[in-house]
Amino acid sequence: MFKINHPLKLPFWREVAIVAMTCALFCLSCTAKRSFTSIPPVKLNKAVTPVIKQIDRIDVASEFKKVFEARHLAFNYPDRIDSFYKINNYQPVLVPRFMPKHELQTLEDYLMNANLHGIAPDVFSVSRLKDLLENYGNKKTRTKEREVYRNTMELELLVADVMIKYSTAMQFGLVDPTRVYTNYSTPTLRPDSTSVMQVFEVRDIKAYLESIQPKEPDYLALQKALKAETGVENDTLYRALVVNLERLRWKNKPVAGKYVLVNIPEFTLSVIDSGKPVLSMKVCVGEPIPNKETPQLASMIYSVQVNPVWNIPESIAGNEIIKYAKRNRYYFANNDINVYRNGKQVYDPESIDWKTEETGAYSFKQQPGEQNPLGRIKFLFNNESSVYLHDTPVQSPFKQDVRAVSHGCVRVEQPLNLAYALFGKGDKFDQIKKAMANGYPKAKYIGLPVKIPVWINYCTAKVDEKGKVHVFKDIYGLDDALYRKISFPFSQLY
């Protein structure tokens, strides 16, 4: 048996050939199974990782560059991979560590089963990995030390790249949602240098790959449904399962034990406590029209305003309110809307000729009352889209199956019940209940003792507790956008 670390200084071609021959002998001994910061150097196990020294006959840095340049465009993190091997003297690390125990075959098996996650295996270059593993150790590829080194590093770089890709996909998703959707402002954890480079610390491939498999019940239920799905790729159910598995891989779920969840395509709101829904109700969401769609976001509900004042957005004022005023000069008085010019209230808006007046300097606020579209209460949370949850005086839309009727805010069916779920028993809830029933409403803010997360999400497929798959209408066309993105080769996803 050859020793990897020989005390004598062997000629380069012998040293490299010994490594390749050792790995090849192990490979041939049994049948292969087929079913954004600087990177610190990794502490390598010198007993199993050969050091390929630079000698006069071959410049390993130059040879590494040639191999790297030929393949780096397919890598997702080429700079980090390049930095790692430079710091570690262009040594192969993963191949000599895993080849003797046939662990690279285990890697191949996991990649081949990526379709169980709704991902095409070739997203992870599995065909090329299979070819390189089958050809590795071939006598024709190791007649010269240069070819030995290049072949070893080509396999090495591919293994490093696909391990990073697979690890990232399982733990964070294939794509960054902020690069797919423009109306997405949910904080979503993305891989950093530590998570990307952790593959170089792995000592047991099977244990590592198993540890990063998504294990949440919702994910496993969708996986089971996908496995049972016999449709083709253009099948509606198949596509819905694939894109929602991807959404569940994103790390954007609130970590708090209690939070408010709005699922836009399902038109529902749920209060989740310790992983279980304690309150559910219908909601109305934004119309499928640009600038009216309800955004995906996450924030913290910090207060309610009982008998709220509606600060009418500029878009609604320009497109709707002014048009009504042009037809009826008493429109503002009839609807309890105060008019402001450059921040100062105008007390006789009926005297303004809205057909000729420049309206850019005006703003509008609708006072509390039965005509106020916010109803008796709104739930406040910071967000860049200026949306919130609120009551509504118009109840008929809740009888519809498709409830995409708002300007972007979320209208809730049972606002008092939602307030109770957030505040619980006590003086503050009693104040809310009394103020909402007041025949002479006045706006009043009541702060939550503890802020509660709100998560407005977009999920078009889920499995209920009986195992039945429910698919909801993709009202904003977001499934199509995501499916197109994850159908491309991995290198084009970022």
Per-residue pLDDT at 441: 87
Pairing of strands 296-306, 184-185: parallel
Handedness of CA 103, 105, 107, 113 (dihedral sign): negative
Note the pTM of the prediction, 2 decimals. 0.84
Q: Is residue 3 part of a domain?
A: no
d(CA 449, CA 422): 9
493 within 8 A of 485, measured Cβ to Cβ: yes
d(CA 434, CA 273): 26
Q: For the residues 176-203, what does the mean pLDDT come to?
A: 94
Radius of gyration over every alpha carbon of the chain, rounded to an integer in angstroms:
30
Least-confidence region, from 69-78, 100-109, 331-340, 360-369: 69-78
Same domain, 170 and 194: yes
Per-residue pLDDT at 1: 34
Residue 35, CA distances (Å) to 32, 113, 124, 164, 353 in order: 10, 8, 16, 22, 77
Same domain, 276 and 392: yes
Q: Tokens standing for 479? A: 């499934």
Per-residue pLDDT at 213: 98
Q: For the residues 369-396, what does the mean pLDDT come to?
A: 95
Least-confidence region, from 205-209, 285-289, 435-439: 435-439
Q: What is the pLDDT confidence band of residue 169, given thresholds at 50, 70 and 90?
A: very high
d(CA 429, CA 416): 9
Q: Is residue 75 part of a domain?
A: yes
Q: What is the pLDDT confidence band of residue 8, given thresholds at 50, 70 and 90?
A: very low
248 within 8 A of 170, measured Cβ to Cβ: no
Q: For the residues 375-389, what does the mean pLDDT come to?
A: 96
> At residue 494, does pLDDT exceed 80?
no
204 within 8 A of 450, measured Cβ to Cβ: no
**Residue environment code for 399-409, b if the CB has 16+ CB neighbours within 10 A, otherwise e:** eeeebbbbbbb
Q: Residue 278, Cβ neighbours under 10 Å: how many?
A: 11
Same domain, 289 and 437: yes
Only one residue has tokens 């294939």, namely 174
Q: Is residue 220 part of a domain?
A: no
d(CA 448, CA 429): 10
Per-residue pLDDT at 140: 59
Q: Which helix (H) or strand (E) holds 457?
A: strand 444-457
Same domain, 111 and 140: yes
Same domain, 155 and 179: yes
At 120, give phi and psi (nearest 5°).
-65, 130
Q: Is residue 483 part of a domain?
A: no
Same domain, 149 and 286: no
Q: Residue 139, Cβ neighbours under 10 Å: how many?
A: 8
Q: Which of 351, 366, 381 is the last residue of a domain?
A: 366
List pLDDT tens digits, range 455-480.
999 999 999 999 999 999 999 999 99
Q: Is residue 489 part of a domain?
A: no
Same domain, 256 and 334: no
Same domain, 58 and 165: yes
Give the structural domain span for 425: 252-308+372-459
Q: What percent of the chain has pLDDT over 90?
A: 68
At 266, give phi and psi (nearest 5°).
-85, -15
Q: What is the pLDDT confidence band of residue 57, given thresholds at 50, 70 and 90?
A: low
Same domain, 78 and 176: yes
> At residue 49, does pLDDT exceed 60?
no
d(CA 444, CA 466): 44
d(CA 160, CA 85): 11
Handedness of CA 140, 142, 145, 150 (dihedral sign): positive
Per-residue pLDDT at 11: 38
Per-residue pLDDT at 71: 84
Q: For the residues 1-11, what does the mean pLDDT come to?
A: 36
d(CA 261, CA 269): 6
Q: What is the pLDDT confidence band of residue 121, given thresholds at 50, 70 and 90?
A: very high
Q: Tokens standing for 208? A: 């590592």
Least-confidence region, from 58-67, 137-146, 215-224, 452-461: 137-146
Same domain, 422 and 401: yes
Same domain, 159 and 271: no
**492 vs 142, higher pLDDT:** 142
| CATH code for position 431 | 2.40.440.10
Nearest one of 181, 172, 35 to 109, comparing CA atoms: 35
Q: Residue 106, Cβ neighbours under 10 Å: how many?
A: 19
Q: Which of 366, 390, 410 is the last residue of a domain?
A: 366
Q: For the residues 180-200, what does the mean pLDDT come to?
A: 93
Per-residue pLDDT at 439: 79
DSSP-based helix, strand, coil % in the chain, nearest 5:
45, 20, 40
What average pLDDT is seen over the chain? 86
**139 vs 127, higher pLDDT:** 127
Query: Which class for 193: exposed (0-12), middle (13-18), buried (19 or more C-beta within 10 A)?
Result: middle
* Number of domain units in the chain: 3
Q: Is residue 198 part of a domain?
A: yes
**138 vs 351, higher pLDDT:** 351
List pLDDT tens digits, range 280-329.
999 999 999 999 999 999 999 999 999 999 999 888 888 889 999 999 98
Q: What is the pLDDT confidence band of residue 253, given thresholds at 50, 70 and 90?
A: very high
> At residue 9, does pLDDT exceed 80?
no
Per-residue pLDDT at 30: 36
Per-residue pLDDT at 371: 87
Q: Is residue 130 part of a domain?
A: yes
Same domain, 105 and 178: yes
Q: Is residue 268 part of a domain?
A: yes
Q: For the residues 227-254, what does the mean pLDDT come to?
A: 89
Per-residue pLDDT at 137: 63
